[in-house]
Structure 1
Amino acid sequence: MIVQAEGVGLKRSGNWILQNINWEIKKGEHWVLYGLNGAGKTALLNMLCAYYHPTVGNVEVLGKVFGKAELGGALRRKIGLVSNRLQQNLYASDSAFEIILSGAFASIGLYETPTDEIREKAIDLLKQLGCFKYADRAYSSLSQGEKQRVLIARALMLDPELIILDEPATGLDFLAREQLLESIDQMANSKNAPTIIYVTHHLEEVLPIFSHSLLLKKGTVFAKGKTTDMMSSENLSQFFELPVKVIWNNGRPLLTRS
């Protein structure tokens, strides 16, 4: 089991942010975490990464039981997190290659001398994710799509068992988004691919590789299960409390008003 949450609730500043969260992710499954802004997606991600501990309920991530095992850095080294918050903390003057190399040490900035093996792995990831041509460019000079691919490569340096992509297509135009999604699809289909949780509030980003989805609404699980069932016109009309229609094309859904 990659993730197991039972009856989980989280209270912050006297308010319940999450309530009655039940979620299981098995090895080999790729999930979409879908919800509108303010649904509690970030709080749930922070919990999975052990930045928060549940107020009530039980959480186990990658075999680590919260409250019974040493967490923090040990767990986070097994989780690759790609988020805009991380992007803001990186050194803009570092090259794309240096950013990726730093992933081997789970550090912001490169303070240790990488071995030849680490360098070779970073070069392989640069090529796999289509970043090689701008490896020596400053991170600050890259487009948003290029930055996201660099962050994914960085997250893969420690061979994580779980990778969390938190709204990775935010701010991308159509072409950049599709190029990024193609890289994610290739990663998911690669040998020994990590389990992926893809966080979004845009239905058109949901790829066929994401066999399961959890719909989060106002801090609770609205529904969870197979993506084809979750992303139906009937289910999403109830979710949005508004009549909508889902059109499927090449295994991907598109949301319109009904």
Structure 2
Amino acid sequence: MKTLAPGTVIFHRHRGYGVITAVNLLTGWISARFGSESRTLDLNLSTDEVQFADGEAILFRRAAPDRMPHARLMAVVRALHQAGYQRLYLYSWPKPSGLHWRWHLFTGQRDWMQRSWREGWYGSGADYNVNPVMGWGDSPGATTDELIHALARFDPQGLAQALGRDEDHTAWFAAVCDALLPGYMYSLDMQRPASGELRDMPPVPVVPVRATLPPYTGPALPWPPGWAGLWSQVHALPTPAINLTGLPEIR
């Protein structure tokens, strides 16, 4: 994706070559000068057929973008699973405010209780709304293949830790992607009700990635392999806390 900013040389079939003086990517309008330094012309990137100087079209996306990147991430994980990177896992959950959703891609051993200790990549919907990138050198609107190549260039050592087989999780993830993509995402947020313990396992929560989509009405989704037992177990860290003070602990 080329840079579109003030100073970019463009071509218009009726005006010829010009220079952009102002860009508003929220509305898709630009201002440009064509030969006259005293007057600018306002152009709409959706309808005025503006091109870069080399003839490449400048297209403004009129459709509403995804308000969260999770469906795009699901497509990335599914493609990497098919390429042999099956030890790659996607965890998504809402912020306490409920306004945005976080995500965590982690690699290596599949242990949901120790997920936050696993190496991987984090992201937040709050950041994505302002700058719609995943954060590993990708461009806004990048395709699944482009996202994978950007991640491989950004952190080849980290991605290498996802190499390996996890057939149970890969099969579950593929079935979830078939049911949800491209318009919906899953959440693995497990809220304990105020009444007490969780006795019955509800379906995996599903959320639309665009505000214009209706609520999900498809088949109920099972929880991923290795997750079911967590509903009845006590939520405690599997290893004791590390004492960094050097002083004996008082019990």
Provide the TM-score with structure 2 as the length reference. 0.23
More helix by proportion, 1 or 2? 1
More strand by proportion, 1 or 2? 1
Is the radius of gyration larger for structure 1 or structure 2?
Answer: 2
Provide the TM-score with structure 1 as the length reference. 0.23
